[in-house]
């Protein structure tokens, strides 16, 4: 199983971020197409920078959510368990074709993986 935390975003030159693939393309679908048959892929952990993840983990009374996308239910369930163990509430946005939702969140909130919080 592969967990992909990447987002296809880059600096837009104006202090924000932009998608570096087509607006209707999903990096999850692109990556899935490059993997060998039978590989299980889950898109997760890429919407927030490491400092942001650390600061948001184990909040009480309500846990912060982390989004994930998977086409394989068993692989998705394993990642959901990992998200819970990390101190977050997992929220599945659908299959890899829907990982575009995660990518747009990262783009719109300026929380690319390398961004400082």
pLDDT of residue 50: 72
At residue 23 the predicted structure's pLDDT band, cuts being 50, 70 and 90, is confident
**Residue 77 predicted with pLDDT over 60:** yes
Residue 61, token pair as written in the block: 């009374």
Domain 2-108, CATH among 3.30.420.40, 3.30.465.10, 3.20.190.10, 3.40.50.720: 3.40.50.720
Taking alpha carbons only, the member of 8, 4, 3 closest to residue 112 is 8
How many CB atoms neighbour CB 15 within 10 A?
7
pTM value is 0.75
Taking alpha carbons only, the member of 112, 115, 46 closest to residue 83 is 46
Q: What is the mean pLDDT of residues 4-10?
A: 83
- Burial of residue 30 (CB within 10 Å: 0-12, 13-18, 19+) is middle
Domain ranges of the chain: 2-108
- Under a CB-based contact definition with an 8 Å cutoff, are residues 4 and 31 in contact? yes
At 100-112, the pLDDT tens digits run: 666 655 555 544 4
**Residue 25 predicted with pLDDT over 90:** no
**Residue 47 predicted with pLDDT over 80:** no
């Amino acid at each position: 199983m592969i967990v992909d935390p990447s987002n296809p975003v880059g600096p837009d030159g104006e202090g924000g971020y932009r998608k570096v693939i087509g607006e209707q393309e999903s990096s999850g679908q692109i990556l899935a197409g490059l993997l060998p048959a039978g590989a299980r892929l889950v898109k997760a952990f890429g919407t927030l920078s490491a400092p942001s993840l650390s600061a948001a983990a184990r909040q009480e009374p309500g846990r912060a959510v982390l989004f994930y996308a998977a086409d394989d239910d068993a692989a998705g369930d394993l990642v959901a368990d990992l998200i819970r163990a990390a101190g977050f509430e997992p929220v599945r946005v659908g299959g890899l074709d829907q990982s575009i939702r995660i990518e747009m969140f990262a783009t719109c909130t300026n929380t690319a993986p390398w961004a400082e919080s």
